[in-house]
Structure 1
Amino acid sequence: MNGQLTIVGLGPGPKDWITPAATEAVAGADIVLGYAPYVNRLTPRVGQVLESSDNREELARAERALELAASGRRVAVVSGGDPGVFAMAAAVYEAVEKNPASADGVDIRVEPGVTAMLAAAARIGAPLGHDFCAISLSDNLKSWATIEKRLRLAAEADFVIALYNPASKARPQQISQAFDILRRVLPDETIVVFARAVGRPDEEIDVTTLAGAGDMACDMRTLVMVGSQATRKVTSGDGRAWVYTPRSERVR
């Protein structure tokens, strides 16, 4: 092998949500590449180089990582959450497909991380207890028509739906459009969870319904979870509440 390229998931934010294997991969790398906010979470060891780049430079970052690894370096590419969920693992393999020789002799590995929907689910209870799916609302790499179709079909299939990238400065209206699509299929009382900055000091988690979801603010740090028609809120005798989706469709 010429070198090693490890694609690492740093989880949603807290250090204790990073796996030991991910920590080891970052610590052992000669060069660490990633989107600036993720790289800024790291403290480099002596002699280690950190390379930051913009959010929309994933393919160029992947090609650079492969080039460095092919030269014999130990390289880590970091993503927030899990690198295989709307993140850098797919970009690296896209670069390999584009130029197969770029991976010759390179030991490519993926170290998983806690993705946002799992962190949010753990905070609120067990909303992913039955079938679910994840959809990114970003139309940077796919058309809005494709997003509309997937939202409609996921709602018709009655999946719990985790919405990634729900809104940004460039796309403030798309989450509202998504709710409009879902309301055509799902009842107004469907549970919706807004989980912002999960695991960080400014964490905010709000539970509402599809009818009231349009009044909730969200941004790129927010994971929006839309329940299935079986998802419900359960309350303990002392007043604590959780959201969960029963494991069986027979439980009503």
Structure 2
Amino acid sequence: MTPQTFFRRKQRLMLLTLSGLLVSYAVASIALGFQQGALLQVQTGFLWMAQNFLPTAATFKLLPAVLFQLWRAFIIATAAAGVAGLLSLLLAVIGAKNLGQRHVTVSFLIRGFASVLRNIPIIAWALILLFSFKQNELTGFLALWFMNLGFLTRAFLETIEDFDTGKLEALIATGTSRPVAIMQGLLPEIATPTVEWLLYMIENNVRDATLVGLLTGTGIGFLFDLYFKSINYPAAGLVVAVLIVLVISLELLSTHIQRSLT
């Protein structure tokens, strides 16, 4: 195949892909009754948001209440990730195929359990638990915890199965028991990716905590909903601004910790 033929085929494939996307967009727009002219009014919406959601001097009187609820959301997010991380690590060690798991059924059940927990949306978890535990912080914690448990179990399973078990087998060959070999040979090797996954989940939990609070009527999400429905848009904008600052700060802290670990 000549270079000219290769690039022609690549261009044709790209054109076919773009054409397929455009046709799909057109069909979906017609089916949903989407008005193309609405795209021209996007700037109007952004202008209204800038005029109404910018915090004013009066809204900063509400800052202590906002920061208190934000602190509670951060604590719940961190606790959910930490508790889920401990159990996920235990399940991953039990279910990892490269650690001498003889019972395939155990590994299959752990993977299936994690997949079910992970694939149920956080909104569904919040609504299901809301009917059982009512409107309180425990409902938000459990919704985040179940989601974290499924996600981290799968993440830790993949991390452990990428681990070279040569060091582990060498420790066992010297007479070390398997639990001690795992503690001394496996956990130090996977410490960095494990911490990275936990930091990612904490960041994600802070964002999800707002949505969970909207549904369960607790925390920072409830505060935003209260201000928004009372047409106190500057106060709602203050909640959003504080959330953005916290998420960016967590991301910067996470990046710094990851660099120090590598």
Bin the TM-score by the shorter chain: under 0.3
Higher helix share: 2
Higher strand share: 1
TM-score by length of 2: 0.20
TM-score by length of 1: 0.21
Relative contact order higher in (CA < 8 Å, ≥ 6 apart):
2
